[in-house]
Amino acid sequence: MSLPHALLTSLLEKSSSGYELARRFERSIGYFWKATHQQIYRELGRMEAQGWIAANSADEAPQSRKKVYRVLDAGRQALRDWAAEPSDPAELREDLMIKLRAEAVIGPLGLEHEVERRHALHRDRLAEYQAIEARDFSHRPLTREDTLRHLILKCGIRLEEAQIAWSVEALVTLRRLGSVTGRGAT
């Protein structure tokens, strides 16, 4: 579980309210880590209780309920400690792989449409990533920070490319099998 550390990182980039974090987790960070506002508020509460972050509610802007959190030294250190311990790669749980396996046992199930959908989806996502790349990382020289952020994006790009290539192959295979089953040795 590393949502708190994702939040710490995001807060270090910019002190924010829970609401702002929630919106940011639908965009940039959300590309590789999703979180709803409920998760975020709860986690912010815990982190505040733990002394990792602090809010400036009545402090400097008492006119609204908005609570802007900032990272304390303890939070900074917690993030450092967490980064130092090894973590395993994310496990994939792909529904589609189960469906393909089911197709092998009780097919045909008409999975072509599903694979087409995913092909389009990954193609769109790749285009989105490439647009970000052109917009944010095409100038030289890149700062240290931008180089690292670019690295993250490139991981996403490589994975989308792999998914697209596989989708194409899967589609060809499914169509070949489908046409064989459809007519065949009657």
Partner DNA sequence: CCAACCATGTAAGCGGTTACATGATTGG
Partner DNA sequence: CCAATCATGTAACCGCTTACATGGTTGG
Alpha carbon 135 to its chain centroid, in Å, reads: 20
Which residue's structure tokens are 């490319």? 161
Strand partners, 69: 16, 55
Q: What does DSSP assign to residue 185?
A: -
Q: What does DSSP assign to residue 31?
A: G
Is there a contact between 109 and 99 (Cβ–Cβ < 8 Å)?
A: yes
Tokens of 148: 């690292």
Binding interface with a second copy (CB under 8 A) = 2, 5-6, 8-9, 12-13, 29, 32-34, 76, 79-80, 82-84, 86-107, 109-111, 114, 117-118, 121-122, 144-145, 147-149, 151-152, 154-155, 158-159, 161-163, 165-166, 169-170, 173, 177, 180-181
Among 27, 63, 86, 134, the residue binding DNA under the rule CB under 7 A is 63
82-121 residues in contact with DNA (CB under 7 A) are 93
For a second copy, the closer CB: 37 or 149:
149
Residue 45 interacting entry, from a second copy, DNA, none, C-beta within 5 to 8 Å by type: DNA
**Burial of 110 (C-beta count, 10 Å sphere; 0-12/13-18/19+):** exposed
Q: Is residue 138 close enough to count as binding DNA by CB under 7 A?
A: no
For DNA, the closer CB: 34 or 158:
34
Backbone angles phi, psi at 119, to 5 degrees: -60, -50
List contacts with DNA (CB under 7 A).
1, 3, 17-20, 22, 34-39, 41-42, 44-45, 63-67, 93
